[in-house]
Amino acid sequence: MNTKKTSKKAAYTGVFAAVAASSCCIPPVIALIAGIGGSASALSWMEPFRPYLIGIAIIAIGYAWYTYLKPKKAEDCCEADKKPTWYQTKGFLIGITLFAAISIAFPYYASIFYPNNKKEITIVKQSNIETLNFDIKGMTCASCELHVVHAVNELGGIVDVVASFEKANATVAFDNSKTSKKDIEKAINSTGYKVIHQNKEK
C-alpha cells in the first residue's frame, strides 16, 4: 500500500473526526452570525460521541505523522527522490494538525463570537423583579449556553440570565413590567432548544 496515500487518508480522517467532534457546538455560532435560530440544535445528538471522535482524530493524525516520519525502505527511495505533492509535505501535516486542534477546542473559545448584549436597566419597583427557572432540552455544551443567554438578553427588562447545559436549564431574573415569561420562553425556543418546563426560583 502506498504510504503517502495512507498518510493523506489518515490526515483527512483526523480532520473530519475533529470537526465532527465539535459539530454540536458550531451550529449555534453559525445561527447567531446568520441571524437564524431553528437549526442551532440540529447536531446536538452528536455530543455523546465527542470523546470518541476526538480519540479518532488524534489517532488518525498521529498515524499520518508516523507514516510521514518513519524511516523509508529501500524500495521507497525512488519515490523519495520525486518532488512531493502538497499533501505529502510537512507543511500540509502541520496545517491539518493545527486545524484539527482548533476544531476540537472550539467549544472553549466559542464565546468570542457572542457579543455582550446585556442591557443596563432601571428598576422602578423591586416587586416587579421575578426569577424563573426554565428547563431546556437540547443544550450540549458551553456554546449552547451562550446562544441561550444571548437570545434572552435581546429582550428588554432582563436583569440577569444564567444558562447551564449540565443542568439543562436557564435561570432568568427579569422585570415583569417590561417583559414576560412567555417572551422569554419564545426567545429560548427561537434558538432551536426547547423549554420543556418552567417554575419560579425558590
CATH number at residue 175: 3.30.70.100
* pTM confidence score: 0.64
Q: In 3-state terms, what secondary structure has residue 192?
A: coil
Indicate if 16 and 75 belong to the same structural domain: yes
Domain of residue 86 covers 3-112
The answer to whether residues 145 and 57 belong to one domain is no
- For residues 81 and 118, membership in a common domain is answered with no
Same domain, yes or no, for 96 and 28?
yes
State pLDDT tens for residues 14-66.
888 877 777 666 666 666 666 555 555 555 666 667 778 888 888 888 888 88
Domain identity same for 90 and 152: no
Residues 6+ away with beta carbon under 8 Å from 64 = 7, 8, 10, 11, 14, 93, 96
The more confident residue out of 180 and 190 is 180
The answer to whether 115 and 185 have CB atoms below 8 angstroms apart is: no
| Domain count for the chain | 2
Do 101 and 25 belong to one domain?
A: yes
Q: For residue range 131-143, what is the model confidence (pLDDT) as tens digits? A: 999 999 988 887 7
Are 106 and 25 contacting, i.e. CB atoms less than 8 angstroms apart? yes
178 Cβ contact partners less than 8 Å away, ≥ 6 residues apart: 121, 156, 157
pLDDT at 85: 65
Specify whether 133 is located in the same domain as 72: no
